[in-house]
Structure 1
Amino acid sequence: MFAHGYGCDQSMWRHVLPAFASDFKVVAFDYVGSGSSDASAFDKRRYSTLRGYAQDVLDIVEELDLSDVDFVGHSVSAMIGGLASIQHPGRFASLTMIGPSPCYFNSGDYTGGMERSDVESLLDTLESNHIAWSATMAPVIMGNPEHPELAGELEASFCRMDPPNL
């Protein structure tokens, strides 16, 4: 099972999935508000924490009757997969976490996130001007200035999101 990170959709796995498709049942999906998902399915209460997204993962696992799932989560999906596997460990065989963060805020001796004021500023910008945020952040996040097409692809992915529902 391949789970995309924030601002992306399942198409981010298109170059990876073929390597697994001949030997494994491959599942990729879009979280609510991303890609081809049904934006009307957004429930502010359910998705106010990562547990709502973890429940989506568990709902997919149950609906497809999956067991021994090898979960591959990118960015925030790494933590979502971790939460899902804690809730139902018998369904998961392994977790592969790509670029995870156990905490998005610096706190005390922990410095692996961002300052709370920076996160709040980022969220304010995201809410007030999603398009400008996308154009500014995509190249920074992608970090490959020699391949601007990659930043352009990420920016387009961000712009397909439904920010009022995230």
Structure 2
Amino acid sequence: MAVLAPDQVLARHAVRISGPTTGHPLVFAHGFGCDQSMWRFVAPAFEETHRVVVLDHVGAGESDLAAYDPQRHSRLDGYADDMVELVEALGLGPVTFVGHSVSAMIGVLAAAGRPDLFERLVLVGPSPRYVDDDGYRGGFAAAEIEELLATMDANYLGWAQFLAPVIVGRPDRPELGQELANSFCRTDPAIARRFARTTFLSDNRADLQRVRTPALVVQSREDVIAPPEVGRWVHEHLPGSELVVLDTVGHCPNLSAPEELVAAMRRYLDH
């Protein structure tokens, strides 16, 4: 990928910046199939005190789709490299990186490689490996992941409509599941299918030990995508981390329980 000027890097990710210029920077990165709008109930809560940065991963939202590289973005390391370039382009000094779902591991990889750029990490619903392994529960058998990916290949729109409400986990609020489904459906299906494989077939367990950046691990009480056991595993294997379990259900507390997530973040950032 060609070297870009800082403003080109920010444009590539459709970056939006708000808050006081003197505020400590918070960089919010979204999960699979989403875009920066998924932070609209959380990020504004910090605009009075922090420099708030929201972005779209390449291939998502209003990002530059031409910048999507099937080879670079076939591994989470490619997205981590994107984040390093973005933080450097911001020129705001070390940032607190807030990553939801797969972006949590993207943040882990970026901080492991460039600890000078990251002051703290907030990892919302992280999972270093979604597939069960000996002595490790990721939440899915290998066959279940293969079936999920095959279903996505066969009928992406149907897959999105079925799985989104399951991910959100709030049948009492069907509008949230529909919002996530709509977000999935706005993503280019070819890019989404490749990103799904990059996400669900990744194994970043060994990378946690490389991180020296303090981190907050945020786990929902119930989560079919990243079960509580996964959150505890991340906390136990991530040096210098703290764990908070939100009394909420689902993989998207930024949508379904934003007040609780904001409160947990404030407690962490204020000490």
**CA distance 1:67–1:113, shift in 2 (3 Å):** farther
TM-aligned CA deviation for residue 64 of structure 1: 1.1
Alpha-carbon contact 1:39-1:162 (below 8 Å) kept: no
Give the superposition deviation at 1:114.
Answer: 1.4
2:106 is the alignment partner of 1:106: no
Contact 1:32 1:42 in 2 (8 A): yes
RMSD: 1.0
C-alpha displacement of 1:113: 3.4
The gaps in structure 1 that reach 5 residues or longer are none
**C-alpha distance in structure 1 between counterparts of 2:41 and 2:76, whole Å:** 27
For residues 1-166 of structure 1, the aligned pairs below 5 Å read 1-165=27-191, 166=194
Return 125-134 or 71-80, whichever deviates more. Answer: 125-134
Write the distance in 2 (CA, Å) between the matches of 1:102 and 1:92.
Answer: 19
CA displacement 1:47-92 (0-9 Å, x = unmatched): 1110011111111101111322111100010000000000100111
Aligned residue type for 2:28 = F
Higher relative contact order (CA 8 A, sep 6+): 1
- Distance in 1 (CA, whole Å) between partners of 2:153 and 2:68 is 16
- Structure 1 residues 81-90 or 23-32, which shifts more? 23-32
User: How many Å apart are 1:139 and its aligned residue?
Assistant: 0.8
Q: Can you give the 5+ residue segments of structure 2 that lack an aligned partner in the other structure?
A: 1-26, 195-271
Q: Aligned-pair distance for 1:13?
A: 0.6
- The structure whose residues are more often strand, as a share, is 2
Identity, in percent, stands at: 51
TM-score (norm 2): 0.60
Number of positions where the alignment pairs a residue of Structure 1 with one of Structure 2: 166
Secondary structure at 1:93 match in 2: strand
Question: Which aligned runs of 4 or more in structure 1 are off by greater than 6 angstroms?
Answer: none
